[in-house]
A and B are shown apart, each in its own frame.
Chain A
Amino acid sequence: MEKKLRIMVIDDENIVGKRLKPALEKDGDTVETFEEPNKALERFGEAPFDIVVTDIRMDGIDGLEVLEQVLARSAKTKVIIITGYATVEVAREALAKGAFDFIAKPFKPGDLRAVIEKAAREIRA
């Protein structure tokens, strides 16, 4: 049996976590959602996650900083960036800094699940 994934979702819009959590838990993975990136990073410090899904534009710490801090603590973690304000410059910067993939809002949970499955295959390989 495959090991279940630990997924962290960070977005300062409450509705995003609310909609994504049940959709991602369908596959039996553990999903924790955060609206404040600093609290999410604190939690990550306690126990690393396999996959981090983060928005880019957030108050305080932005998604690119979350990406850097997460990869500095756990190089194995796959970071997926989600944002409504994507530009090729920002997306390329995220990928250059080690993001696993990039999804522009609006998207369907199924789109994110497909990227997570791809990331999971790499983690388990």
Chain B
Amino acid sequence: MQIICISRESVRYGRQLAEKLAQKLGYACVSREELTDLATAQGIPVGKIETAILKRQNISEQLALDMDRFKAFISASLCGRAISGGIVYHGRTGHLVLPGLTHVLRVRAIADFEERVTMNMRRMNLAWEKARAYTEDVDEDRRRWARFMYNVNWDNPALYDITINSAHLSVENSATLLTQMAQLPEFQPTPASRRVVKDLLLGTRCRLALGKDERTRDIKVTVSVKDGDVSVVYLPRHARQAPVIPSVLEGLEGMRSLVCTVATTNILYIQERFDPQTESFGHLVEVAEKWNAAVELLRLVDDPEGSEREDAEPLPATGAPAETGGILEDSPDMPDCEDQGCGVPETLQRLIQVGRAGAVRTLVGDGLAVAGKLARAEQYSLVVVGDVFLSRGAAVRKRLKRDLVSLLNEQMRIPVIGTEDLKEQYLFGAKQWISMVFYAAATVLLYAGVFYFQEGILEFLAAPGTTRRILSAVVVGAFAPFAAIVIGGFAHNALKLVKLE
């Protein structure tokens, strides 16, 4: 069950090295090409993902689901093969689909750029300049792939255990070196890592089964497995489809129990135009990361005439290649907001990169209608209202936003705040430091005062006589809230600092 992943620059050298290494170790050799072909044959549109990278397209919600399924497919394929024996995989960044597996030997195989250009020139019968441009473009596409899929820098040496340079080491010698390295204890499977492989395999099989079933393929889920106990967490907007999840996953090999729950730590972000570059969006991401929450984007389009409608982002049918030849039905597209500069694709892309993407939807209507619609929606942990009603004047905008926040607060019974209050409420900045220092000083003074004057205080409290006792009770009653505010203020800030609020 040893796993060796080679991230290759030159496909030819990577393949030769992987095959030689697999031969020496008696392992199976698996290539990225083999797995992408299998994934495509199973209806995962790998070509769409690759084309999106090549054409610098924004990631749609559907593409994000496809990426998720593709990662699950690669992970399931590698784990499935690793269970029955050792494997050598060569591709881009295979080890990144094996989170939690510490015994994977991660190899980066680099090649001389000029040599690769010459090779490509010969293989494709291209002029030098074209071959050079091709090689540069492909390298950039692969870097973008790593950023798109895993939010990592492909060139970061920390991602690998060893880098092999084909300009200095022959395939034979590189394979010999890696064979020896593979014997090191750090790369040997342990009982714990075997369990992780089994759990990873079960989790990715669950994800694939959900992605394959018509009823659940559009549900965005997080699957986690611990010793065969499966937990599926779905977003509130998928509550209607969620009841079929157990029947889709029923009978999966190795599953001991299954729990399906709605994600409770979802943040709803309401805005008319999104911008992932703003400070407030940065604060929102920070809070989402702190709470391990997904961020659902709600684009609120103001309609002063009061008409009301709601659209979820369309998820076109993927289509089984065998039935349609890969040609889908023409259908009217949803109004695209890209031209209007709504910023949804860019913001969603940023959220996907940081692993915090929830759903996206658009609501058209005035504040009252929107508040009514959201009140009927499923639960969120927090609602953040950004800039809305942009077509109105500054004063009206401010009032409408305040009314919306207050309405949502009243009807949803969860914290609803404006983006401007996000930092103060949930993050720790300079203001919170000052406040904590102030409350800390006050708390110290309070305790010091009580202990320093304890004899006097005890004497005052224990003084005989009804009038004195009533006076003692009044003084204690007045002092207690003050002490609670001071100590509570310090505790609140201290807990926020250690992210335990």
Binding site for B on A (CB under 8 A): 11, 13-16, 18-20, 23, 82-89, 91-93, 96-97, 102-110
List chain A residues, Cβ under 8 A from B372: none
Which of A16, A19, A85 is in CB contact (< 8 Å) with B36?
A85
Taking the closest CB of chain A, its distance from the CB of B211, in whole angstroms, is 15
Which of A23, A88, A93, A97 is in CB contact (< 8 Å) with B53?
A88
Provide 24 A-B residue pairs closer than 8 Å at the C-beta atoms, listed in order of the A residue: A11-B325, A14-B325, A19-B325, A19-B327, A83-B47, A84-B40, A85-B47, A86-B46, A86-B50, A87-B36, A87-B50, A88-B142, A92-B137, A93-B124, A96-B124, A96-B126, A96-B130, A96-B133, A97-B124, A104-B50, A105-B47, A105-B325, A105-B326, A106-B318
Q: Give Cα A77 to B33, complex, Å.
A: 31
**With A13-B326, A87-B33, A89-B138 given, can you name 20 additional A-B contacts, CB distance below 8 Å?**
A15-B324, A15-B327, A16-B326, A16-B327, A23-B330, A82-B326, A84-B40, A84-B45, A85-B37, A86-B46, A86-B48, A88-B50, A88-B145, A97-B124, A102-B54, A104-B45, A104-B50, A106-B45, A106-B327, A108-B329
Q: Give Cα A85 to B497, complex, Å.
A: 50
Taking the closest CB of chain A, its distance from the CB of B62, in whole angstroms, is 11
- The interface bits of chain B over 300-334 (1 if a CB of A lies within 8 angstroms of the residue's CB, else 0) are 00000000000000001011010111111111000
List chain B residues, Cβ under 8 A from A86: 46-48, 50-51
Residue in chain B with minimal CB distance to A88 = B141
Q: Which of B50, B141, B325 has the most CB of A within 10 A?
A: B325
Q: Give Cα A16 to B321, complex, Å.
A: 10
List chain B residues, Cβ under 8 A from A11: 325
Identify which of residues 1-42 in chain B touch chain A, using a CB-to-CB cut-off of 8 Å: 11, 33, 36-37, 40
Q: Confirm or deny: B150 has a beta carbon within 8 angstroms of a beta carbon on chain A.
A: no
Residue in chain A with minimal CB distance to B142 = A88
Binding site for A on B (CB under 8 A): 11, 33, 36-37, 40, 45-48, 50-51, 53-54, 124, 126, 130-131, 133-134, 137-138, 141-142, 145, 316, 318-319, 321, 323-331
A19-B325, A84-B321, A106-B327 are contacts. A92–B45 as well, Cβ < 8 Å?
A: no
List chain A residues, Cβ under 8 A from B126: 96-97
Are A105 and B327 in contact, CB atoms less than 8 angstroms apart? yes
Q: Give Cα A52 to B341, complex, Å.
A: 35
List chain B residues, Cβ under 8 A from A91: 50-51, 54
Q: Give Cα A87 to B48, complex, Å.
A: 9
Q: Give Cα A20 to B33, complex, Å.
A: 28
Are A103 and B324 in contact, CB atoms less than 8 angstroms apart? no
List chain B residues, Cβ under 8 A from A14: 325
Residue in chain A with minimal CB distance to B55 = A102
Taking the closest CB of chain A, its distance from the CB of B136, in whole angstroms, is 10
List chain A residues, Cβ under 8 A from B45: 84, 104-106
Are B327 and A85 in contact, CB atoms less than 8 angstroms apart? no
List chain B residues, Cβ under 8 A from A13: 325-326
List chain B residues, Cβ under 8 A from A110: 330
> Considering the complex of A and B, which 8 residue pairs feature the smallest CB-CB distances, nearest first?
A105-B326, A86-B47, A104-B47, A15-B325, A16-B325, A88-B141, A104-B51, A19-B327
Q: Give Cα A96 to B318, complex, Å.
A: 29
Q: Give Cα A88 to B36, complex, Å.
A: 12
Residue in chain B with minimal CB distance to A113 = B330
Q: Give Cα A110 to B11, complex, Å.
A: 35
Query: With contacts defined as CB atoms under 8 Å apart, how many contacts are there between chain A and chain B in the complex?
Result: 101
List chain A residues, Cβ under 8 A from B321: 84, 105-106
Are A109 and B50 in contact, CB atoms less than 8 angstroms apart? no
Taking the closest CB of chain A, its distance from the CB of B22, in whole angstroms, is 22
Q: Give Cα A86 to B330, complex, Å.
A: 22
Taking the closest CB of chain B, its distance from the CB of A97, in whole angstroms, is 7
A85-B37, A93-B124, A97-B126 are contacts. A108–B331 as well, Cβ < 8 Å?
A: yes
Q: Give Cα A102 to B325, complex, Å.
A: 16
A23-B330, A84-B40, A88-B142 are contacts. A103–B325 as well, Cβ < 8 Å?
A: no
List chain B residues, Cβ under 8 A from A19: 324-325, 327
Q: Give Cα A106 to B56, complex, Å.
A: 18
Q: Give Cα A11 to B327, complex, Å.
A: 12
Taking the closest CB of chain B, its distance from the CB of A110, in whole angstroms, is 5
Q: Which of B145, B324, B331 has the most CB of A within 10 A?
A: B324
Are A106 and B141 in contact, CB atoms less than 8 angstroms apart? no
Q: Give Cα A87 to B50, complex, Å.
A: 6
Q: Give Cα A85 to B35, complex, Å.
A: 11
Residue in chain A with minimal CB distance to B45 = A106
Q: Give Cα A85 to B326, complex, Å.
A: 11
Are B124 and A108 in contact, CB atoms less than 8 angstroms apart? no
Q: Give Cα A93 to B125, complex, Å.
A: 10
Are B328 and A106 in contact, CB atoms less than 8 angstroms apart? yes
Q: Give Cα A11 to B54, complex, Å.
A: 23
Q: Give Cα A82 to B326, complex, Å.
A: 9
List chain A residues, Cβ under 8 A from B50: 86-88, 91, 104
Taking the closest CB of chain B, its distance from the CB of A119, in whole angstroms, is 16
Q: Give Cα A118 to B11, complex, Å.
A: 33
List chain A residues, Cβ under 8 A from B40: 84-85
Which of A82, A89, A108 is in CB contact (< 8 Å) with B328?
A108
Taking the closest CB of chain A, its distance from the CB of B462, in whole angstroms, is 83
Residue in chain B with minimal CB distance to A82 = B326
Taking the closest CB of chain B, its distance from the CB of A86, in whole angstroms, is 3
Taking the closest CB of chain A, its distance from the CB of B379, in whole angstroms, is 36
Q: Give Cα A8 to B217, complex, Å.
A: 35
Are B51 and A106 in contact, CB atoms less than 8 angstroms apart? no
Residue in chain A with minimal CB distance to B130 = A96
Taking the closest CB of chain B, its distance from the CB of A11, in whole angstroms, is 7
